[in-house]
């Protein structure tokens, strides 16, 4: 039975790297008819915030990556305590009373001798009953696991054979006390109790894996298979970090990246499908996803690619859906029409850009009369605008759509004078160098507003 988990710590907003880990776990589960578990690792009381847990749950819902089972580590303390006690009873773990100062001094002495620092094992041979008494008397302690020397190796599903030297580790701390296990310990206990078959997580956890394997051994438990996903890199190949606000999923969603587009993009961050296909439905992702085709090398986060993918998904939206989404990003008093939506649809990287793109229809900016001249040269511009204006007046209101307007105006423009006609028309309608085409502007603005704007331009040329 395939059982996988995503185990986020709610210490920050859910970020793109976590979406990728979640997605790969989720796809792996769906593909293998397994179970996808969400385990909130909320044991760090100082850094946890409920707000971040809510952010995780909300975004998983939006991204349609809901878990089959949900757990919180903060509700599972007894399990960790039980296992700590068991290890101490079996003498696989022991209480250590070394103070910070003692450990510091030990470390320094080793470094001076040119040795890699590790715990000397000073408390390893304390009398057990004696140690219990000291704990009961309230002396400060930690719990250490006895780490046998030797090699630890495992086969990572992405990286292949990985080997570590346990001899370098020293007896490691697994808990601050019986009620406060450290991260590596609680993760292993939970992965065992939750019968996790595959641990799929970020490469930053690779150094934890040998420590966790030592714990599995001490507990006589069979470890799961591991897959460590490649780091996410910025375009300059520097490491992408969750410290940058920019990687929070909520920021992307707020800017108007569609959830399906984000998923499609994130799926390709390190995984290479067999063919050249780049746009995948969820069903296709489930069918195609193959963890052995995930690369080892860091995966570059390319925002241009995300924009491109998002445009494909926007292109696939119906006009009604797109209009409803657009309305969330513009002032209430802006009444948008079909012609405007059609004009901006192919130009939208993300829905959040819509206000800027639509602005031209609702506000004519101040502009300099010289801007009306094609290539800076006034060649009968005023007459041309008046001719165009007359033609526009002749088009019936109900025929004022993109096709008809395009036909009527094009018929009027001499082939060798396109710039002389269409440039000033576009500038008079938009007041700007860059904008949708004059035909898109006309159909979006409507007859009355178009004529008013052309009149303003003519006025500038009179002045
Ligand atoms: N809680 C860990 C984190 O947020 C992940 C633990 C794991 O996947 O093993 O980075």
Ligand 1 nearest-atom number relative to CA 41: 1
Residue with tokens 């996988």: 4
Give whole-number Cα distances, 355 to 100, 308, 350, in Å: 58, 19, 11
Tell how far the Cα of 426 is from the centroid of ligand 1, in angstroms.
55
**What domains sit in the chain, N to C, each tagged with a CATH number?**
3-70+185-233 (3.40.50.620), 78-181 (3.90.800.10), 364-462 (1.10.10.350)
The CB of 8 under 6 Å from ligand 1? The reply is yes
Give pLDDT tens digits for 46-91.
Answer: 999 999 999 999 999 999 999 999 999 999 999 999 999 999 999 9
| 373-388 average pLDDT score | 96
Please check the confidence at residue 235 and state whether its pLDDT lies above 90. Answer: no
The CB of 205 under 6 Å from ligand 1? The reply is yes
Cα–Cα distance measured from residue 419 to residue 416, given in angstroms and rounded to the nearest whole number? 8
What percent of the chain is modeled with pLDDT above 70? 98
Residues designated as active site: 242
pLDDT, greater one: 287 or 243: 287
Quick one: DSSP state of residue 156?
Answer: E
The CB of 41 under 6 Å from ligand 1? The reply is yes
| 248-273 average pLDDT score | 97
Backbone φ and ψ for 142, nearest 5 degrees, come out as -130, 170
Instruction: Give long-range contacts, CB 8 A cutoff, 24+ apart: 282-291.
Output: 282/64, 285/27, 286/27, 286/30, 286/31, 287/31, 289/24, 289/27, 289/28, 289/31, 291/24, 291/28, 291/157, 291/158, 291/200, 291/227
Cα–Cα distance measured from residue 353 to residue 255, given in angstroms and rounded to the nearest whole number? 8
Ligand 1 nearest-atom number relative to CA 202: 8
Please check the confidence at residue 245 and state whether its pLDDT lies above 80. Answer: no
Strand-pair category, 3-6 with 35-40? parallel
Mean predicted lDDT score pLDDT of the chain: 95
**Structure confidence at residue 239 (pLDDT):** 83
Please check the confidence at residue 243 and state whether its pLDDT lies above 80. Answer: no
| 259-264 average pLDDT score | 98
Quick one: DSSP state of residue 93?
Answer: E
**Structure confidence at residue 184 (pLDDT):** 97
What percent of the chain is modeled with pLDDT above 90? 94
The CB of 187 under 6 Å from ligand 1? The reply is yes
Please check the confidence at residue 246 and state whether its pLDDT lies above 70. Answer: no
Give pLDDT tens digits for 157-211.
Answer: 999 999 999 999 999 999 999 999 999 999 999 999 999 999 999 999 999 999 9
Give pLDDT tens digits for 113-155.
Answer: 998 899 999 999 999 999 999 999 999 999 999 999 999 999 9
Tell how far the Cα of 207 is from the centroid of ligand 1, in angstroms.
12
**Structure confidence at residue 164 (pLDDT):** 95
Quick one: DSSP state of residue 366?
Answer: P
Which of 201, 227, 231 for a ligand 1 pocket mutation test, highest count of atoms within 8 Å of Cβ?
201
Is the distance from CB of 93 to CB of 218 less than 8 angstroms?
Answer: yes
Give pLDDT tens digits for 348-372.
Answer: 999 999 999 999 999 999 999 999 9
**pTM for this prediction:** 0.92
Tell how far the Cα of 8 is from the centroid of ligand 1, in angstroms.
5
In degrees, rounded to 5, the angle at the alpha carbon of residue 91 between the alpha carbons of residues 87 and 97 is 90
The CB of 201 under 6 Å from ligand 1? The reply is yes
Ligand 1 nearest-atom number relative to CA 21: 8
| 310-321 average pLDDT score | 97
């Amino acid at each position: 039975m395939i059982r996988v988990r995503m185990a986020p710590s709610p210490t920050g907003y859910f970020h793109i790297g976590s979406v990728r880990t979640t997605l790969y776990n989720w796809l792996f589960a769906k593909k293998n008819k397994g179970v996808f578990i969400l385990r909130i690792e909320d044991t760090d009381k100082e850094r946890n915030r409920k707000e971040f847990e809510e952010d995780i749950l909300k975004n998983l819902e939006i991204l349609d990556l809901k878990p089959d089972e949900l757990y919180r580590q903060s509700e599972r303390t007894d399990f960790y305590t039980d296992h700590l006690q068991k290890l101490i009873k079996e003498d696989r773990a022991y209480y250590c009373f070394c103070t910070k100062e003692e450990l510091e001094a030990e470390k320094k002495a080793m470094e001076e001798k040119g040795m890699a620092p590790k715990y000397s094992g000073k408390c390893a041979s304390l009398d057990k009953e004696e140690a219990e008494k000291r704990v009961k008397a309230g002396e400060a302690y930690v719990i250490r696991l006895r780490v046998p020397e030797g090699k630890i190796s495992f086969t990572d599903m992405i990286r292949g054979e990985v080997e570590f030297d346990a001899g370098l580790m020293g007896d490691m701390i697994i808990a601050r006390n019986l009620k406060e296990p450290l991260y590596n310990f609680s993760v292993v206990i939970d992965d065992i109790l939750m019968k996790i078959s595959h641990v799929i997580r970020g490469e930053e956890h690779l150094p934890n894996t040998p420590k966790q394997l030592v714990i599995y051994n001490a507990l006589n438990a069979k470890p799961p298979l591991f897959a460590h996903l490649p780091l996410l890199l910025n375009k300059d190949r520097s490491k992408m970090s969750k410290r940058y606000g920019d990687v929070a999923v909520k920021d992307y969603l707020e800017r108007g990246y569609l959830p399906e587009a984000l998923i499609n993009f994130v799926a390709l961050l390190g995984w290479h499908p067999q063919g050249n296909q780049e746009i995948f439905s969820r069903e296709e992702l489930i069918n195609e996803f193959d963890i052995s085709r995930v690369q080892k090398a860091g995966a570059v986060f390319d925002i241009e690619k995300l924009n491109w993918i998002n445009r494909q998904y926007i292109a696939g939206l119906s006009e009604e859906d797109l209009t409803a989404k657009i309305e969330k990003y513009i002032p209430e008093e802006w009444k948008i029409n079909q012609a405007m939506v059609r004009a901006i649809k192919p130009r939208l990287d993300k829905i959040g850009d819509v206000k800027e793109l639509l602005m031209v229809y609702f506000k004519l900016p101040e502009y300099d009369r010289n801007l009306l001249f094609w290539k800076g040269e006034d060649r009968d511009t005023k007459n041309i605008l008046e001719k165009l204006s007359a033609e526009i007046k002749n088009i019936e209101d109900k025929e004022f759509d993109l096709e008809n307007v395009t036909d009527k105006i094009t018929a009027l423009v001499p082939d060798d004078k396109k710039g002389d006609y269409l440039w000033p028309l576009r500038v008079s309608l938009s007041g700007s160098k860059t904008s949708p085409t004059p035909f898109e502007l006309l159909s979006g603005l409507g007859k009355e507003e178009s004529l008013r704007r052309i009149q303003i331009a003519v006025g500038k040329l009179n002045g």
